[in-house]
Structure 1
Amino acid sequence: MTAPFPMQDATPAELGLDASRLERLCDRIEADIAAGHHPGAQVAVARHGRIALFRTFGQARQGVAARPDTLWLLYSNTKVITAAALWALAEDGLIRLTDTVAQHLPGFEAHGKGGITFIQLLTHQAGFPSAEVPATAWEDPAILREVVCSFPLEWEPGSFVRYHPATAHWVAAAVIRAVTGEDHRAYIRRRIIAPLGLGDELFVGLPAEEQARAADMHDVDGTVRMPEGSAAGRAAGIPGGGGYGTARAMAGFYQALVNGGSLNGQRILSRRMVAYAIRNYTADRLDDYNGVAMHRGLGPHLRGETPLARGLGAIAHPRTFGHGGVGSSYCWGDPDSGVSFAFLSNTRQTDEFHGPRMDTISTLAHTAII
C-alpha cells in the first residue's frame, strides 16, 4: 500500500506565492513540449512544508502519457542525495568531512591521492574528473573499490575546481560500503529517503518492480538514451547520475534541507550540518569544466553574487543552492524564502537550450515569491 505523501497540497496564495507567475512557468513548459524540445516534464514548487504546484506534462514514453507517479531520471541531481549520505555519516560520527578519503577507504591513497579530503571530493577539487567506472563495477563492490582506488590524478588536488561528472560520487559509494558495510543504495534509502517519507517517489537504484514507472530519457534527436534506459542502468543507482524520482519528491528533499534537515517532523540531519554543507567552499573561482563560478558547497552549488548563474535563476537569493541534471532538469532550495523547486524532463537537451530555459523557469519561480 502506498503511503501518503509527506507534504500536503496548498494554494499558492496560502504559501505566499503568486499563482499567475506559476502559471507563466507552466506555460513555458507547455510551449517547450509543443515545440518538440522534450516529450514530457514535471514541475513542483513547495514552501513551508506544503506543495503549491505539482504538475505533469506530455509523454513519459512513446505513446504513454506521463502521470503524477512517473519517475524521471535525475542525472546529476542525484549527486546532492549521495552527498547527503556522506553528511549523515559525519552527523553520526563515522567520518569527519575534513578527513582524508583514504582514512576510511584504505588503498585510495594510491597514485598520490592520500591527501584528498571529503571536502575536496564533494567540491570537485579531487583531481580525477576524467576517470571512468565500468559497468562491471556497478554490482560488484570489490571491483568498484579496486577501480576507484586506482584512479590516477590529472592535477594536484585542490589546485583546480573542475566538475567530476561521475567519479567523485562513485568514491562516495565505496566509502559508504567501507564505513557501514551497506550498499550505497540501501544506506541512502534507509538513512535519507525513507525517513523523509519519500520512499515511494525517490530512488537511487530503481527496483525491478518500479521500472515500469520510469520515463525514457531521450537524446535531442528523439532516440532513447542507453545505458540510461536499460534495466541494469536504472537498477545500478549510479551515485552521481542514476537516481529516479518525481518532481514533488525532489521538492520535498529540498524542503527538508531549507528547513534545516527535517520534513514533516522527521529529521535526517541537524540544522548545523546542513548549514555546514551549503557554505560556499570555492568562492568565485571558475569551474574549469564550464568556465563560470559555481560557488561549490559539499554537494550542491550556490547562486552567489557573480553575474552568471547555472540553473538556479539569475535573480535567486545568493544562498539559493541546488543542482542540475545534464540538459534535462534542475532542483533547488532557497533558505531565505523557504521555497524549493524541481523541474524534471525526459530529453538531454543542448546547453545552448537548457541553460536559458532553466534560467527563465527558475526565475519565474523566484518572481512568484510574495
Structure 2
Amino acid sequence: MELLGYRKVWVPRDLSEVTTIDHAAEADPADAGMSRAGIDRIWGAVENLYRTGLQPALTIVVRRRGQVVMKRAIGCLRGNGPGEREDRVALSPDAPICLFSASKAISALLVHKLAEDGALRLDDRVADYIPEFAAHGKGRVTIRQLLAHRAGIPTLPIKHPDPSLLRHWDAMVSLLCLAPPFDPRFEKQAYHALTGGFIVGELVRRVGKIELREALQQWLAEPLGLQRLSFGLPPERRHEAPLHYRTGPKPVWPITAIATRVLGVDFERAVTASNDDGYLSSVVPAGNLYASADDACRIFQMLLEGGTLEGRRVLREDTVREAVRPVGRIQFDGMLNLPIRFSPAFMLGENPVGLWGPNCREAFGHIGFMTVLCWADPRRDLSVAILNTGKSVAPAAVLQMARVVGAITRACKPVR
C-alpha cells in the first residue's frame, strides 16, 4: 500500500502465514523464571507491531537467566516490501539484518579488547595514536570521550555529504581529523551517528595492527561462535538478508531537518543507501554491522555474564565493568535533543523509566535507526535483540516498539 507517500506492507489476517518460530531453540519459560502467559504477551506485542504494516521483517531473540525463551521471526525475506506483489518468502529467525547504530556498541568492544591487552588506555588521548586528530584543539580528547560521544565530531565538516564517501576510509579519517570541534571545551555530549566510528576504527587499525574485519572475527565472532556477524555483507550472502524500506508517512520538517543533522543525509536517502552495494561492501564501524538476532543477543549475554559465554571467556570482568561505566552525568544530547547517558560503548538505562523499560538504570544497550534494539539488563538477568527492516517516522512505529519493550520487562521480574 502506498497512498500519498504513506507506505505500508501487506499484512495477512492469519499471522502464522508470516511467522517462523525456532521451537528447538526455545526453552520452557518456567526454567527461566517466566510464565507462558508472559511469553504470549511479548509475542502479542510483536504481532501488534507487525500489524501496523510498518515492519516488513522482524526477528527477536530473548534470553532470560542465560536461556533462550524466544527466537522468532515475523515477516518476509522477499516479496513484501511496500507496494510489492511478488512471491513472498518467509523470514528465518537466523537472517542477518543490519544493526545500524547498534553497531557502535560492538565496534567499541574492539577498543576495550585493546585496553584489556594493555595496548592502550581509555584515558589516553586519541592524538597519542592518531597525531593528526589533534587539529583545532582536539589533542585533548581522550579515547573514553570519543567512545561516549564527547569528541566534538558529530558531523562531517562539509555540506551535503554523499553516502558514497563512506567507502573512502582514508578520506573520512582525514576529514574528521581536520574538523573543528562542535564544543571546543569538550564538555557537551553530541551523538556521533557515523563519524566517531571511523576514528574508533582507525585506533583499532593503528594500535592493533589489524583490519577491523579480522579483529571482529578473531576477537568476537570466533570465540562466541557467531556465524553471521560481519561489517557489511559479502555478495554471496546477500540473498540471506531482507532489504530495508522507508515505511509510513513521507518525512517532513522538522523530522527531515533532524534526520539530516544526525545522519548527514536526508531520511529517505539514508534508507536507500543502506541497500546499496557501496554500503554493503564497506566497513562502517558505527553503522553497518550485520548479524542475526541470536548473534547480537549472544554478545549482550556474554557481557551480562561478565565476559563469558557457555564457559568460554571472551573479555575480562573488569573490561566489561569499564565498558558499561557511565561517562559524566545525564544531559541533553546536542544532536538528539534528548536526555541520555552514555558509557564508553553503550546507551544506558534510567530510573524510574529509560530506554530499556521501567527501573532500568543498570541496563545497557544501543538503538539502531530508531527501532533496532539490543540490550542487557543485569537486574532482570535479561538480554534481548530485536532487529527489523522498516524505517519509519510514524508514531505507531515507536509506540508499538515501546510496548514490546514494556511487555518484555513486565514478563521478566527483577531477580535482585
* TM-score between the two structures when normalised by the length of structure 2: 0.81
C-alpha separation between the residues in 2 aligned to 1:208 and 1:267?
32
- SS of the residue corresponding to residue 365 of structure 2 reads strand
RMSD of aligned residue pairs (Cα, Å): 2.3
- SS of the residue corresponding to residue 69 of structure 2 reads strand
Cα shift at 1:157 = 4.6
Cα shift at 1:139 = 5.0
- The aligned counterpart of 2:233 is 206
**In terms of Rg, which structure is larger?**
2
- The aligned counterpart of 1:77 is 102
Cα deviation code 1:3-52 (max 9, x no counterpart)? xx9x9642211111222222222122222222211111011101333211
Please, which moves more after superposition, 337-346 or 350-359?
Answer: 350-359
Please, which of 15, 18, 28 is the counterpart of residue 35 of structure 2? 18
1:171/1:110 CA distance change after superposition, 3 Å: same
Please, which of 245, 252, 273 is the counterpart of residue 291 of structure 2? 245
- The aligned counterpart of 2:83 is none
Is contact 2:59-2:72 (8 Å) kept? yes
Residue 153 of structure 2 corresponds to residue 101 of structure 1 = no
- The aligned counterpart of 1:44 is 61
- The aligned counterpart of 2:173 is 145
**What letter corresponds to residue 364 of structure 1 in structure 2?**
A
Which 4+ residue blocks in structure 1 deviate beyond 4 angstroms? 132-141, 221-224
Please, which of 334, 354, 363 is the counterpart of residue 309 of structure 1? 354
C-alpha separation between the residues in 1 aligned to 2:37 and 2:45?
13
1:316/1:330 CA distance change after superposition, 3 Å: farther
1:353/1:168 CA distance change after superposition, 3 Å: farther
Please, which of 392, 400, 408 is the counterpart of residue 357 of structure 1? 400
Higher helix share: 2
Cα shift at 1:93 = 0.7
Is contact 2:167-2:278 (8 Å) kept? no
C-alpha separation between the residues in 1 aligned to 2:349 and 2:112?
21
Cα shift at 1:167 = 0.7
Please, which of 353, 356, 361 is the counterpart of residue 318 of structure 1? 361
Structure 1: segments with no counterpart, 5+ residues: none
Is contact 1:283-1:295 (8 Å) kept? yes
Cα deviation code 1:117-139 (max 9, x no counterpart)? 11111111111111178656655
Cα deviation code 1:234-286 (max 9, x no counterpart)? 22131111111111211111000110111112222111111111122132222
C-alpha separation between the residues in 2 aligned to 1:206 and 1:229?
10
Is contact 2:245-2:272 (8 Å) kept? no
Residue 279 of structure 2 corresponds to residue 262 of structure 1 = no
Give the fraction of aligned pairs with identical amino acids, expressed as a percent.
Answer: 27
Aligned residues: 361
- The aligned counterpart of 2:257 is none
Residue 62 of structure 2 corresponds to residue 34 of structure 1 = no
C-alpha separation between the residues in 1 aligned to 2:77 and 2:328?
37
Structure 2: segments with no counterpart, 5+ residues: 1-21, 80-87, 250-267
* TM-score between the two structures when normalised by the length of structure 1: 0.91
